[in-house]
Amino acid sequence: PFWKPHQKTAFAGSSLGQLDRLVAVTMIHEGGRATIFGMLTKLQKFTRDINAAAMWAGVTAFVWYAFGAVPLHIAVASQLGLTAAQSSSWIFIIWTSGAVASISLSVYYRMPVPITWSIPGLIYLGTLAGEFTFSEIAAANLVAGVLILVLGVLGVGGQIMRWLPLPIVMGMFAGSIFGYVTRLVDVTVGDVAVAGPAVGGYLVGRLIGNPRVPPVGLAVLFGAIAVMIGGQATPEAMSWSLPSIGVPSMTFSTSSILAISLPMVVLALGLGNVQGLGFLIGQGYKVPVNPISIVIGITSVINALLGGHPAIVARTGVAILAGPDAGPKEQRYWANLTAATLTLIIALAAGLVIPILAVLPSSYIFALAGLAIFASLQDAFQKAFSGNLAFGALVAFAVASTPFSYVGITSALWAVLAGLGASLIAERGQLRELWRVGATESTLG
């Protein structure tokens, strides 16, 4: 190239245009080197963040996704009378879109933002069997996805998080996941041979106190050994084929939109953002609420176009993937990357779901879920009851820990409203001060 030292003489007599070209080429050359160097530096940091605690948390979340959520999906699909092709398309799209969204958000923001599909929403759809056709449900899900996207663009998600007190949110979150811990006790008493070793492994990990030996990882290992020794794993013959994918017919009706779309929007933004993103905020992350809400809206629209229902920030998943047991805070995004990558297996193996579910006993799955959430529950209790608005947080916890549904909305959202009402009555001054600070930050931001 003409910028090499042996061509300095030729350059000395060159025109101003040649000088400009030389400077431009040199800048491009050096800029390209700087860009490549920057990319390599980021890649090195990215790989250095891999840690055992995060990987185990990711595996645990995947196990919970697969064996805690998929059976429910199969049951609801059966209730709605869906064909095998419709069920396959539904499972494929919601797991694929959720995994892609989770990986993208984790890589870009370096925080564990698990995007999955709404379990409360799925349960609600199951209650509508016989009232609406699948084409009406698909159309209503599409309307819900568009509404979620529009509200995200308008910044409603950020406003919701700005005005909701963290103690009340964490009280509600603790109540929502408390059932998993009580179920841990139930399955341990009912199946000591399997759940007992898992609990023992977790306690050994807590006793060791070494981040290289994560308690949840030992729980997975000890429990798996117990399952194999007890002969409770009974795999069946399986054959793989690509999942069926299809765009469902859609019938738009006012009744289905009112009965399905609006509750789905409330569940996605009111529960997913409040519980899931609220937990991330409680862990000290600076959560980009509005961009995440937009991603949820886009993912929900994609889901609906292939027969799925709206996406949501995974409430149970975030407790596993972003909790203290998932490793150092700055490296926990690897837990979500691990779980999301593994969930792609479910998407591609939609036709193999039922025989896979027969492999592991339910006591093992529920024990792992409860153990993985334990540290997050402890952290939520501390954040809910160690400062202001403790009464509102307690009311929110009590309501959220009581499973019920009213007008299609589960107890978790009612818990927030009840907690706010309790604080308005008993802690009015503290609540007004928090809102005043929130309004100031909103104006400045």
Identify whether 58 is part of a domain: yes
The C-alpha torsion from 103 through 104 and 109 to 114, rounded to 10°, is -50
Q: Summarize the confidence of residues 90-119 as an average pLDDT.
A: 92
Identify whether 97 is part of a domain: yes
- Pick 21 or 380 by higher pLDDT: 380
Domain of residue 257 covers: 51-444
The pLDDT value given to residue 435: 78
**CA 129, 135, 140, 144 torsion: positive or negative?**
positive
- Of the ranges 10-14, 46-50, 64-68, 291-295, the best mean pLDDT one: 291-295
pLDDT digits (tens, 9 = 90+) for 203-236: 998 898 875 677 888 888 899 899 888 876 665 5
Identify whether 377 is part of a domain: yes
The total number of structural domains that make up the chain = 1
**Gyration radius from the chain CA atoms:** 25
pTM score:
0.68
Identify whether 9 is part of a domain: no
pLDDT digits (tens, 9 = 90+) for 285-299: 999 988 999 999 999
- CB contact at 8 A, 103 and 299: no
The pLDDT value given to residue 30: 57
Identify whether 399 is part of a domain: yes
Cα–Cα distance for residue pair 197/133, rounded to 1 Å: 46
Read off the tokens for 419: 């907690």
Which residues make Cβ contacts (< 8 Å) with residue 107, sequence separation at least 6?
A: 46, 333, 337
Identify whether 331 is part of a domain: yes
Which residues make Cβ contacts (< 8 Å) with residue 443, sequence separation at least 6?
A: none
The pLDDT value given to residue 126: 80
pLDDT digits (tens, 9 = 90+) for 403-445: 887 776 668 778 889 999 999 999 998 888 877 765 545 443 4
Cα–Cα distance for residue pair 290/143, rounded to 1 Å: 19
Read off the tokens for 195: 């759940």
Weakest mean pLDDT among 24-28, 221-225, 306-310: 24-28
Distance of CA 176 to the CA centre of its chain: 15
Give the rounded percent of residues in the chain with a pLDDT score beyond 70: 81
Cα–Cα distance for residue pair 59/43, rounded to 1 Å: 23
The pLDDT value given to residue 11: 44
Read off the tokens for 128: 């509508």
Cα–Cα distance for residue pair 379/116, rounded to 1 Å: 23
Distance of CA 403 to the CA centre of its chain: 21
DSSP 89-116: HHHHHHHHHHHHHHHHHHHHHSS---EE
Of the pLDDT bands very low, low, confident and very high (cuts 50, 70, 90), residue 6 is very low
Q: How many residues does the chain have?
A: 445
Identify whether 42 is part of a domain: no
The C-alpha torsion from 9 through 10 and 15 to 16, rounded to 10°, is -60
pLDDT surpasses 90 at 107: yes
Identify whether 6 is part of a domain: no
